[in-house]
Amino acid sequence: MDEESLLLSLELASGSGQGLSPDRRASLLTSLMLVKRDYRFDRVLFWGRILGLVDDYYIAQGLSEDQLAPRKTLYSLNCMEWSLLPPATEEMEMQTSVVKGRFMGDPSHAYEHTELQKVNEGEKVFEEEVVVQIKEETRLVSIIDQIDKAVAVIPRGALFKTPFGPIRVNRTFEGLSLSEAKKLSSYFHFREPAELKNKTLLEKADLDPSLDFMDSLEHDIPKESTCHSPEDPQRAPRPCAMPSEAPGSNELRMGPGCKVKSHIF
């Protein structure tokens, strides 16, 4: 959700049964404007809310003029004070993959995980149980990155690639037509392309370089991983494995009891 149209987007998202209180909305709108100014972002998106047992995490992302450049992610517990999160790494994902259950809502909370590590003593090698502590902030970074890679989508034409390379917002984009909105090929993963680079020149012949520079949902493997129903009032593509996940108001479960609310746009 772009901070410039935040109130309208929150109103639309509340139709799914999830929303923010009036005071939270007011605090969020004001604080995101300050975040945009202080961090000198080109755009600020309200990413969503991750529910915790003690407190909830409110997530925002800052974008530079190049819309596909690495995004800065921030979190807040009160919609007023924001803290910058470090970039996600593969090591973080491996560390946090063993953590199950709900978030606590406390960034300093440490999960304890017992694992076996090989210890050398002279010529002898044996395994020893070691307690590893994983900070909840690290888990938060990893979960946000995984959700972004899995379900952040954008309609074709909303962004365009300039002749000099940077990706810009298409100010003339007014949405997809009904016929185009029914096609999975009209939606792209909002991330750096992975599959597009492997296409042959023949496969790229029908693509518009200024618009088709990201991976299309129609080529997802398995192909049934994304559903689209023309009868859906929102007309939004949804991951089939997570049927309640959709742009604008999304719910995702990452492991037993771990419930995540996220607003992708």
Convert the pLDDT of each residue in 176-212 to its tens digit.
999 999 889 899 999 888 888 788 788 788 888 889 8
Report pLDDT for 179.
92
Do β-strands 259-262 and 250-253 pair in parallel, antiparallel, or remain unpaired? antiparallel
- Residue (of 45, 240, 52) closest to 148 by Cα position: 45
Report pLDDT for 187.
93
The mean per-residue pLDDT over the stretch 133-138 comes to 95
33 in any annotated domain: no
Worst-scoring range by mean pLDDT, 86-100, 175-189, 221-235, 246-260?
A: 246-260
201 in any annotated domain: yes
60 in any annotated domain: no
- Residue (of 54, 93, 97, 50) closest to 75 by Cα position: 50
138 in any annotated domain: no
Give yes or no for a contact between 248 and 264, defined as CB atoms under 8 angstroms apart.
yes
pLDDT at 144 over 80: yes
Banded pLDDT at 52 (limits 50, 70, 90) = very high
Report pLDDT for 262.
37
The DSSP bridge partners found for residue 200 are none
Banded pLDDT at 253 (limits 50, 70, 90) = very low
Instruction: Write the CA distances from 121 to 34, 124, 129, integer angstroms.
Output: 56, 5, 15
In sequence order, what are the residues at sequence separation of 6 or more whose Cβ sits closer than 8 angstroms to the Cβ of residue 58? 28, 46, 48, 49, 75, 76, 77, 78, 79
Banded pLDDT at 249 (limits 50, 70, 90) = very low
Average pLDDT, the chain: 82
227 in any annotated domain: no
* pLDDT above 70 as % of the chain: 83
The mean per-residue pLDDT over the stretch 107-121 comes to 85
Between 219 and 227, name the one with better pLDDT. 219
Long-range residue pairs from 35-38, CB within 8 A, at least 24 positions apart, any chain: 35/60, 35/62, 35/74, 35/82, 36/3, 36/62
Worst-scoring range by mean pLDDT, 133-147, 208-222, 223-237?
A: 223-237
Number of domains, the chain: 1
Between 13 and 83, name the one with better pLDDT. 83
16 in any annotated domain: no
Between 1 and 99, name the one with better pLDDT. 99
Best-predicted range by mean pLDDT among 24-33, 117-126, 232-241?
24-33
Q: What is the 3-state secondary structure (H, E, C) of 30-71?
A: HHHHHHHHHHCCCEEEEEEEECECCCCEEEEEEECCCCCCCC
The mean per-residue pLDDT over the stretch 238-262 comes to 41
78 in any annotated domain: no
Residue numbers of the domain that contains 160: 153-220
Rg, the chain, Cα only = 20
Between 220 and 173, name the one with better pLDDT. 173
**DSSP code for 157:** T
Give backbone dihedrals phi and psi of 108, rounded to 5 degrees, phi first: -85, -5
What CA–CA distance (Å, rounded) separates 56 from 104? Answer: 8
Instruction: Write the CA distances from 194 to 47, 76, 127, integer angstroms.
Output: 23, 31, 39
8 in any annotated domain: no
Tokens in use for 217? 């949902």
What CA–CA distance (Å, rounded) separates 115 from 104? Answer: 22
The SS3 of residue 217 is helix
